[in-house]
Structure 1
Amino acid sequence: MNPTMHSSEDDLVFLDEPEHDEFSGASKSHSSWRVMIIDDDPDVHSATTFALGSLEIQHRPLSFLHAYSAEEARNILKSETDIAIILLDVVMEQEDAGLQLVNYIRKTLKLADVRIILRTGQPGYAPEIDAIRDYDINDYKTKSELTRTKLYTAVTSAIRSYEQICSISASRRGLETIINASTELMATHGLNNFASGVLSQITALLALTTEGFICARQTPLGKDTDTEELHIIATTPQFSALLNQSLPTANNPAMLSVIGRSLSERKSIFDPTATAIYFNNVAKKEFTLYLDTGLHLNEMDKRLLDVFSGNVSVGLDNIVLNSRLHNYAFYDLLTGLSNRLKLLQTLNETLESHLKTKSALSLIDIDHFAETNDALGHQFGDLLLSSVAQRLMETFGQHCHLARVGSDTFALLGDQNLVCPDRILALFNTPFDVDRQEVQLTATIGLIKLDECDGDGSEALKDTNIALKRAKTHQRGGYEYFTRNMGVEIRERVLLMHALRAAFEHERLFLVYQPQIDMVSGKVLGAEALLRWKTDEGKFIPPDQFIPIAEYSGLIVDIGEWVLRSACHELVHLRRLGYTDFQMAINVSQAQFSHPLFMETLHKALEETKVPPQFVELEITESMAMKDPDLLIKTLHQIKQLGVSISIDDFGTGFSSLSHLQKLDVDKLKIDRAFVNDIRLDANEGSIAKMIVQLGQNLGLAIIAEGVENKMQADTLVSFGCHLAQGYFYAKPLTRDDLHVWLKQKDNQ
């Protein structure tokens, strides 16, 4: 059984299904409000009945009918009547099962009175406004937001609407007016349009010629709720001068008194000479309609007004929700600036207009923001970003489009004369005042002139990001303009990455083996396994081109595992051929070595190939060895416990710490070919190679040199005390078949 779960907002409780079967047919108690639950999830049925079962609305309890599929619901609805509310899941057997059922209820069964509330656990399947209008859906909620309080509020509002509709069914004109008005309101977009619709519909509904306005409390994006003010968002002609002004500027004490009482008491006020209609809603959005006349309503008009107000409240909830979703979709809630999606919309519009030829896009990245955020806290970091956004708005807001497109990255779109490095970087010359502290920042900028952009907005943004990355690589606090050469380079890398993935999947990669020699005795001690790539056209791609791409894409982990297994298999094969003292050196990349499953991969390769671990040597680079010494020491200890030896490749190129080197449990140092190449006839050359040999001897480590190409280099290295080497002087990297032939030839010498 699942444990009891509590909502974070109120006490809506989801319990296990009861042991007995719920009755899914019609309730026989017609003194109650009949609520039909249609959902394919039994937990939703039990949670809903638990949340509402003990409640009374209008002094009447609720009774429930249950259907677990659209087909079952159809069968029940054919015979049952007096259903007040249908709580209907949007997605059941099919994605549109809910809407098909609504269509059946409204058009086939002609059930116009029942109130339908759609619910969904999948917001992505939310019905469009057209669907809500066409199918006469009374409310829509996601299950995650429908807590007990909100469920009760929605059901109460729906039942009140149902009761009123039934009571005035004799007045078809009034009912049709309400439905038409509500339908039109539901089709509006934005709070201001909705308010204008409410104002015109209510005057038509009550056949009034009065004047008035609607005011609402609004919070600007990026501002605290303490800054809210009541603004007049819709007016009739007489009050048009007040439109978009804050309410206190309206110099009419009597009017302000009526509205103030309505808001403070959260109810409609009907004075002899003025009216303030308060629309209650779940979102608690303060929304009041003022009319400059007293209303003298008969009973039917009061009922019509109540029903209309209920529908307006539901519609207001939806408008507020849609506005909030719109803000989430298009604006950054921290700074109030546009977000990436809104920027792309504006960017596409600019690229399709005459403004393209003189516009530029810039990405502004705050340098070292992550360190500041970690050191001073996320709250301080948010204040810092808001301060940067404010300064950008003060400088560019009237003439350019601003957006926040990353955690510490802003975008600026506008005329090339404004969107230029000097103007932008100048903003960071003065410290920012953050939480009564002065903070000096720098920024790095990437830019593109839109007349050089051939694609759409996403392409322009991508190209600007390429320029930004190039600027960050070259110099923090500087800038780079995008050039077509940058794009060609990136595209070539992407193409190479796709080709590499295809080559690996189709077994186009292969290993070669470069023998390692004892230069004094001439004995072959082993070989280094080296990865090669030959295209279908017969072209060899150099490792220094495809290895970095494999590391960047993450493909190196899979490739590295394959190299490890293949080299171990070859070592086993060589041992079968009689080379029982042969040692195989295998390169391990940083990404492969730091992967959580590396030790498991190594253990499996040794176990499955049955290779003796003492003849396997892993080569790691010096820079990799120094990146995280503590983690490395721990991992190396685990490797050595398996019996595998460790060599540090390219030694002398990574500026490593000797104190760290002493702590590493390694067996061998490999002198980089660059230092071997420095060995000349001049006695002063090759001093670094000699120093590495002496260091290794002092630490008790074996030394091997790579890239030995002539006898002079070999003799010099031997004179230094280095006896092991690999290079073209002894053998080029060989395929496995060529290696076998070469070894036989060495045996016969």
Structure 2
Amino acid sequence: MSHDDDDMLFDDDAPPSQKAASGPAPWEILIVDDEKSVHQVTELVMGDFTFDGRPMRFTHCYSAAEARVLLGQPNQFALILLDVVMESEHAGLDLVRYIREELGNSTARIVLRTGQPGQAPQAYVLKSFDINDYREKTDLTHAKLSTVFYSALRGYRDLMRLERARIGLRRSIDAITHVCDSDNLRSFCSSVLEQASALLGHDGEGVCASRVNAYAAARQGESLKVLAVTPAYAGLQSDETLDHLPVPVRHAFMRCMRERRDHHGDTWYACYYRTREGNESLLYMSFSDAIGDSDRELLALFSANVASTYEKLVQREEAAATQDAIIGILGEALERRSAVAGDHVVRVGEIAAMLACAAGLPPQLIRQLRQAAGLHDIGHSGVPDTVLNTPGALSGEQWAVMRSHCQTGRDMLSRSNQPVLQLAATIAYEHHERWDGSGYPRGLPGERISMAGRIAALADFVDAMVSPRCYRPAWPLDYTLEQVRQESGKRFDPALVQHLLAETEALRALYARLPPA
């Protein structure tokens, strides 16, 4: 089916009020014939004909060449009455092939008409060409033309219904895909609104709200929070309360929550869902046209499945929030034990995320690096205080103990199968490797060091330099960046060094926000 047919199925060019005033859209009929009298008689005889409550609208072409130009433009012709012999003996037959094969239009019903049956025998034409009927031009009575019109328009209508069902199925599959691809509750809710509108093929506007905090899934008591809106409701704040919603939305939500069930009107639908934990989610959609029972049933089914996905996302974000909190606690414990001043683990995570973003890594990996990079020194938990906080140079024996923290950190973190902690295990093991192969514990060179290890090594170095230590004062950021530049290709990945230097202002902003103690 062509794009033009999609437009016909979901034609919303005119506002609903204009459509209602002008009546139902007419069936588009194209007459292609080089005899003007055939056009006149056909329109005269069938001018008052209606089908499914819709009248006819006739368009006239007097040659196959003229019809080619017209059909090559966007159109919605349901029926084409086509002469066989025009500028050539087979002009009509050539036009059939053009419509079906070149234009790819398989939905328009084509009825061939000829005044010279011997030129194109009926049996041959019906077998060789994708047409829907074959008539003689003398069949111009109302009875005979009515038979042609009923048959053709009924077939076209049924094809459109099948095509609409196919498009609806495709949109449903897309809707599910987009919903499941959402990374957090707020993007999930935005996806719900977009896909609910597309699902029915109507212009839809809506609001998605919940009693669950969008990020931490903390209970909000009786406070309803708006999670996402479509453009028509763009004036609402993301955390708008129930009292400030537009009146129709507020009334629909209040009734849904009071009665704990869905409600609808002719052009709107409000879906209510209460999870097993007592959290409530609500979806309000309003449409430009009236929606029927089948549309409401489809939207209700879609909303029910969406609500189940919503609950799983809430649980996932709760788990993610818990993981963030645990990692933060571990990082703080490390700082306290190693006497590292300030938010070292937080800043290392921020710098690592900055580098990962500049390097073009996927968003999910960037988020994981922000968490995991801060655990690079978790192996310090296995290093005695006498070694860890030595103010001067370490002895050979002490240095061997200190170097063991890479293996210790890996052993601790690799016990978990969580992706973030697996990534942290790699970072803990490799963040002292060097680009030229002179690092430890394995002396890996270049790209044999994982990207995460290379990023964490650079992030740790920068923050360690600008932060005070028990054995030295802090160095200025500009001096630190100059040291990084000198170590490019030696200690650090040259590409990552360039990314870091390009983010100098972002680094200054980070240290203005989270200055070392």
When the two structures are superposed, what TM-score results if normalisation uses the length of structure 2? Answer: 0.35
Question: Highest Rg: 1 or 2?
Answer: 1
When the two structures are superposed, what TM-score results if normalisation uses the length of structure 1? Answer: 0.25
Q: Which has the higher helix share?
A: 2
